Chain A
Amino acid sequence: MKDTSVMERAGHSVINPDAAQTYTLMTVAGDRPGTVDRIINILRRRRANMQTMTIARDAQADQIRVTITVNDTEVGKAYLIEQLRKIVDVQSVEEISATQAVSRELALVNVASTAETTRDILEVGNLFGAHTVDITPDSIVLEITGSSDKVSACIEQLQPFGIREIARSGQVTLARESEAE
């Protein structure tokens, strides 16, 4: 019986069940007391390996959008989605595949500077399309937007100058409509 062709591992693909991958989950929920607590609680209780999480208002009033990236097996991710969907205030949980996803992250980086290095730092910033938001005689604050990889690469390039402080927003994601067809 076990070898019948009928729906072995129904609902799942042929991906190795033990292989973990990064998934982006977009959750839209009603903005009521405790909603964010509930979402975080599920991630903690089900021991999801969360990488980033961003919370912001949605287009509609009284709604929040929570973008979560987790590293998990396909079965673990599917289970997590069902658990999130069980939260009463959650209206939708969508998994966004890498090809569908338009993902951006924003980082503010405060880099130590001297008269000699200022030009080089600004050049690195330019290379990554960063804006300069603040300059003092001994520091420069750059604003970088892009994919998480791009943000990380920029930060790496700035590292030699001495980074004083970084604030990263975490990843926000939308599904690309042009490829969803």
Chain B
Amino acid sequence: MAIATNIIRQTERPDLYNEARELPGSHIICEALLREGVEFVWGYPGGAIMPFYDSITSYPSIHHVLVRHEQAASHAADGYARITGKVGVCTATSGPGATNLVTGLATAYMDSVPVVAITGQVGRPLLGRDAFQETDILGITLPVTKHSILVRSIEEIAPAIHEAFRIAQSGRPGPVVVDIPKDVQQQKGWYDPSRYESAYDYFRKEESRHEKPEGTLIEQAAKLISQARKPLIMAGHGIILSNAYAELKAFAEKTGIPVIATLLGLSAFPDSHPLFLGMPGMHGPAHVNRAIGEADLIVGVGLRFDDRVTGKVDEFAPKAALIHIDIDPSEVSKVKVANVPLVADAKVALAALNEAVKPGDHSSWLQEIRDWQAQDEGRAAALKRDETLPSPMGILHAINEVTEGKAIVVSDVGQHQMWTARFYPWSRANSQITSGGLGTMGFALPAAMGVKMGAPEAPVWVVAGDGGIQMNIQEMATLMQEGVEIKIAIMNNGYLGMVRQWQQFFHSRNYSETPITGPDYVKLAEAYGATGMRVTRGEDVISAIKRAMETPGPVIVDFVIEAEACVYPMVAPGSPITTMIEEQAEENE
């Protein structure tokens, strides 16, 4: 009941030719990809992967997207996987092609995203001899992949690819590298598809589904829940990965427990729900962190208590017992020892809990938190603000309003990412895509390409800073070549804003190497054949977003925002999350 709904998605596989026959290795790669239901491959050709590129033209149902840098291929595959729940596939040649994938693989690894990377390798006679464009990509990617496979013979190609897809999707998802030497791709061999089971078929079988967690643990959890007076639910990425939206909502509503969502858990639970409080941690609103400080029980589902969430661990949730649900046994009790450790898929565990718990009501506790929130918001509203410039909140609300809440927002990394997390009113399930664990600048633009190709019906907005957007801006050319219609909002403050903010708070305003210039984004967009706009007044934000939505093709909107705005509140790294740096009146003078 769990994993299948997530993984088996819209597209069915094309009709497959199932007779055994003799094929070159590079054709077998494509055959195996077809059997996994692969629609898109993002990649870049080169010497050691050329046989594969020769074969792929014989498989028109696999759409290859030529990126402009291999890093973008891994991010696009990642974005596609996050939005569809299917495996994202990227390819690169040996050596520099493969090493360029690494940042994207590490991003997917930290955020548990199923990605399969197929890399060409120099031929077997040259392996280990420092051949042209040879790198030990298995060795390089060991710490940032869930698994990696070096294919040693043509017979191993199909099983390696099916195994990669199975490993990428099972349990806690993650990226897998399949490294295939050129001469293995060129070899001819007998390919009998009936001998191999694809992950696509495997996950449709009954035995692949998740086991129910132990009954006694569920009972203990239910008992703790019934005893708690100030409980909180903390929802993480695991809710989205296991497609447990309905179970989470049912659990919160039945027990009456308020819900907090981590950065990657945002959009797992509707922001507008009366039980929803917000995001915890370094840039969470004060009332959320205060609630954690006061809570007597935390039900953590599909999260790993990252240091940006906990702040100083010893003082995180000091009064609370912990029920920790995670599919990865190495995450449960890693940071904070769980009173009830539930190693299980979030969807399965929540369904079991929903049967075991009694209906509850925590409205007085919720009211207490809402009162704190009202005080904080009252203080913030009293501060003077410069309304002449476009404001981050104004831009985000305008995107939501113009797209009627249907947009998928892909944010990059930095201040705008935190503003987006905080201020965008998440209503559509899984509508926030961002690099949470690794914090990869340059992620948003290529990831949004994968998102849009995986969810073509949805409006897709990139929200990026003027630093991060320049890291993978070359993908504008890919968007144009493929006709991928995404809209890009740049929050342009002329700084690497988050680093500047840290310099302001912790390095006596020594703005070392954070002022940054950029191109004229209007001309840049036009140079790529896209549309560009520049918005310098707050009152023009809505009309610019509207115009961007009405204009076909990719559009860059360059919003000039306040140069030294900060993300408030903020917890200094290593401090308890209940000690927050609040916005002061003088900051706005």
Contact = CB atoms under 8 A, between A and B. Distances in A.
A15 interface: no
A79 interface: yes
A88 B138 contact: no
A51 interface: no
A61 interface: no
Contact of A1 (B147, B321, B329): B321
Contacts of A1: 224, 227-229, 296-297, 319-321
B448 interface: no
Interface in B143-162: 143, 146-150, 152
Contact of A7 (B138, B220, B228): B220
A1 B340 CA distance: 13
A5 B220 CA distance: 11
A11 B147 contact: no
Contacts of A7: 220, 339-340
B224 A4 contact: yes
B341 A37 contact: no
B142 interface: yes
Interface in A1-27: 1-2, 4, 6-12
Contacts of B319: 1-2
A86 interface: yes
B463 to A, nearest CB: 33
A98 to B, nearest CB: 24
A2 B320 contact: yes
Q: Which of B227, B229, B319, B337 has the most CB of A within 10 A?
A: B337
A10 B341 contact: yes
A4 B227 contact: yes
Contacts of B378: none
A126 interface: no
A82 B334 CA distance: 10
A79 B149 CA distance: 25
B340 A10 contact: yes
Contact of B339 (A10, A33, A75, A78): A10
A5 to B, nearest CB: 10
- Interface size bucket, A side? 20 to 34
B518 interface: no
A7 B220 CA distance: 9
B139 A34 contact: yes
Nearest to A38: B142
B429 interface: no
Interface in B293-328: 296-297, 319-321, 328
Nearest to B141: A34
B11 to A, nearest CB: 27
Contact of A86 (B150, B330, B333): B330
Given A7-B339, A41-B143, A86 B228 contact: no
Interface in A93-151: none
- Interface size bucket, B side? 20 to 34
A83 interface: yes
A175 to B, nearest CB: 22
Q: Which of B228, B321, B340 has the most CB of A within 10 A?
A: B321
A85 interface: yes
B168 to A, nearest CB: 11
A60 B146 CA distance: 25
B220 A33 contact: no
A34 B341 contact: no
Interface in B218-232: 220, 223-224, 227-229
Contact of A88 (B147, B152, B337): B147
A56 B220 CA distance: 43
Given A10-B339, A10-B340, A2 B321 contact: yes
B264 interface: no
Interface string A29-62: 0001110011001000100000000000000000
B167 interface: yes
Interface in B334-360: 334, 337-341
Nearest to B231: A1
Nearest to B146: A88
Nearest to B229: A1
A10 B321 contact: no
Given A1-B297, A2-B320, A4-B224, A37 B139 contact: yes
A7 B324 CA distance: 13
Contacts of A86: 328, 330
A119 B227 CA distance: 76
Interface string B44-80: 0000000000000000000000000000000000000
B150 A33 contact: yes
A42 to B, nearest CB: 9
Contacts of A6: 220, 223-224, 321, 339-340
Nearest to B150: A33
Given A33-B152, A34-B142, A41-B143, A8 B329 contact: no
Interface in B195-234: 220, 223-224, 227-229
Nearest to B296: A1
A34 B138 contact: yes
Contacts of B340: 6-7, 10
Interface string B490-522: 000000000000000000000000000000000
A79 B321 contact: no
Contacts of A41: 142-143
Contact of A85 (B138, B167, B229, B329): B329
Interface in B135-189: 138-139, 142-143, 146-150, 152, 167
Nearest to A41: B142
B150 A34 contact: yes
A146 to B, nearest CB: 35
A75 B139 contact: no
A41 to B, nearest CB: 5
Contact of A34 (B148, B227, B228, B321): B148
A36 B340 CA distance: 34
24 contacts: A1-B224, A1-B227, A1-B228, A1-B229, A1-B319, A2-B320, A4-B224, A4-B321, A7-B339, A9-B337, A10-B338, A10-B339, A10-B341, A32-B149, A34-B138, A34-B139, A34-B142, A34-B148, A37-B139, A41-B142, A75-B337, A79-B333, A86-B328, A89-B147
Given A33-B138, A34-B139, A82-B330, 19 more contacts: A1-B229, A1-B319, A1-B320, A1-B321, A2-B321, A4-B321, A4-B339, A6-B339, A6-B340, A8-B339, A10-B337, A11-B341, A32-B149, A41-B142, A78-B333, A79-B333, A82-B329, A88-B146, A89-B147
Top-6 shortest CB links A-B? A82-B330, A1-B296, A88-B147, A33-B150, A82-B329, A1-B321
